[in-house]
Amino acid sequence: MAGRPVYHNALEAIAGINDGATVMIGGFAARGVPTRLVLALRDRAPKDLTIITNDTSGGWGGRVDCSLLVEARLVRKVIASWPVPASTAVVTPLEQQLRAGEIELEVVPQGTLAERIRAAGAGIGAFYTPTGVGTPFAEGKEVRSIDGQDFLLEYPLSAGFALIRGFRADTLGNLVYRKAARNFNPPMATAARVTIAEVDAVVPAGDLDPEAVVTPGIYVHRLLVPE
Amino acid sequence: MNKERLPRDVLAMRIAKELEDGSYVNLGIGQPTLVANYIPPEKLVIFHSENGVIGVGPMPEPEDEDPDLCNAGGQPVTTIAGACFVSHADSFALVRGRHLDVAVLGGLQVSETGDLANWIRPGRGVGGIGGAADIARGAKRIYVMMEHTTKDGERKIVRRCDYPLTGQGVVHTIFTDLAVIRVTPQGLVLLEVAPGWTPEEVQALTEPHLTVSPDLREIAL
């Protein structure tokens, strides 16, 4: 094997994402979103997806985010920290579908979301976090007092697929990121059965500084590069 | 009563004065981001943005915007010399691990025991928590920056929040357009009042009892 498979066509890169799939999608406020993979997923149009992503609020100056998948009615459930815009000026497709009972939403504090994803990738069965104690996010969760401080029990989040955005990859799938486009991409890369990374370029193994690699290629199964 | 309240930028200046040289600070989405504009050049305050930026700098001119660089509110930002980038998992590890000295957060309601509600208004049915619950629980000190009352004149400093909470017993100090109020185990202590306001006038717009500090001062910059 010469390394990780490299795709130029985004639809080919997402082969296997079928109805009912659970898909993690990187990005924060439309930065670090694997836009070609998201648009290809919309074109492939599998139904009843569960989408795990930070935000689906849309409206980031016309940039692509996961709200497009909700708008296309491909999503059965969203797990996110920021599902709707702060402003109530626009009723988003997600809110319309929530009101009609057509979609399910789980709002998770951002740090808990990141840690649940990290935990899944790291083989952790569950963890106690101080976030959300005494708030609506504690409802139905075990509270444990440890050294006089209360914590909530939280479970990992894994997925069949992770669609992530890197800056550069090498042929073994090692990834580096660019600035704040890193965000949820590294933990998501670890937490899916199949991780597909959209990057600007693939360089020969050895061309990335080993000290600078953020996501080791062991987590990355497919690479998408520009045509 | 038609007295002048502090403009937002003056409130931001007052909070900026409170931030110590060398401290690591997270600024919440919305008006708390104004605080960064009023740090004097001789003071180094390192701003953390929960989307993985440690060392957030000023906003760029439009032609200098970087498509891969924004703050937690999605606004384009720059970075200072010595900035670094981390993933969300690492960004919130440092939040929960109590490494941030201060977070300045907006508020819808604050209770007399330091409960903070700032993420959803009852009635909307859906809201975004973002990183607020983690930050409210994780930073060593939580400063709340908000108007003292709502646009309709309702009191926002209350005995008990009736809005859903972001964090329980987390607020250290409340900075409003009328007053600076410290949350203590003995209740709320009025430390400073806006110029021209008396403690009695501030109390009238505050639901729980305010203990007036023996060192009560006028808010100064």
What does the pLDDT read at residue B1? Answer: 53
Select from A190, A215, A119 the least CA-distant residue to B92.
A119
Q: Which residues of A touch B139 (CB under 8 A)?
A: none
Q: How sure is the predictor about A61, in pLDDT bands with cuts at 50, 70 and 90?
A: confident
Select from B206, B147, B140 the least CA-distant residue to B172.
B140
Does residue A11 surpass a pLDDT of 90?
yes
Dihedral sign computed on CA atoms, order A120, A123, A125, A129: negative
Q: Give the position of tokens 């994780």.
A: B138
Picking from A94, A115, A129, the nearest residue to B89 by CB comes out as: A115
Helices A110-122 and B88-96: crossing angle, nearest 10°? 110
pLDDT digits (tens, 9 = 90+) for A107-156: 999 999 999 999 999 999 999 999 999 999 999 999 999 999 999 999 99
Q: All domains of chain B, ordered by start, with CATH?
A: 8-218 (3.40.1080.10)
Q: How many residues does chain B have?
A: 221
Distances (CA, A) of A118 to A95, A127, B51: 28, 11, 15
CATH architecture of A6-124+157-224: 3-Layer(aba) Sandwich (3.40)
Dig out the tokens for A139 from the structure: 């409802």
Q: Which residues of B touch A26 (CB under 8 A)?
A: none
- Of A9-23, A54-68, A145-159, which range is least confident? A54-68
Strand (E) or helix (H) holding B18: helix B8-18
- Our CA angle for A151, B116, A67, nearest 5°, is 80
Inter-chain residue contact A108 with B129, CB threshold 8 Å: yes
The answer to whether B149 and B203 have CB atoms below 8 angstroms apart is no
A15 vs A26: CA distance, rounded Å:
18
Considering only alpha carbons, which residue of chain B is nearest residue A189?
B87
Q: How sure is the predictor about B122, in pLDDT bands with cuts at 50, 70 and 90?
A: confident
Rounded to the nearest 5°, which phi and psi values hold at A47?
-100, 165
Burial class (CB in 10 A: 0-12, 13-18, 19+), A86: middle
What does the pLDDT read at residue B3? Answer: 87
**CB of B166 within 8 Å of any CB in chain A?**
yes
What does the pLDDT read at residue A86? Answer: 87
What are the extents of the domains in chain A? 6-124+157-224
Dihedral sign computed on CA atoms, order A197, A201, A207, A210: negative
What does the pLDDT read at residue B121? Answer: 86
- Mutation target for A interface from B26, B77, B87, B113: give the one with most A CBs within 10 A: B87
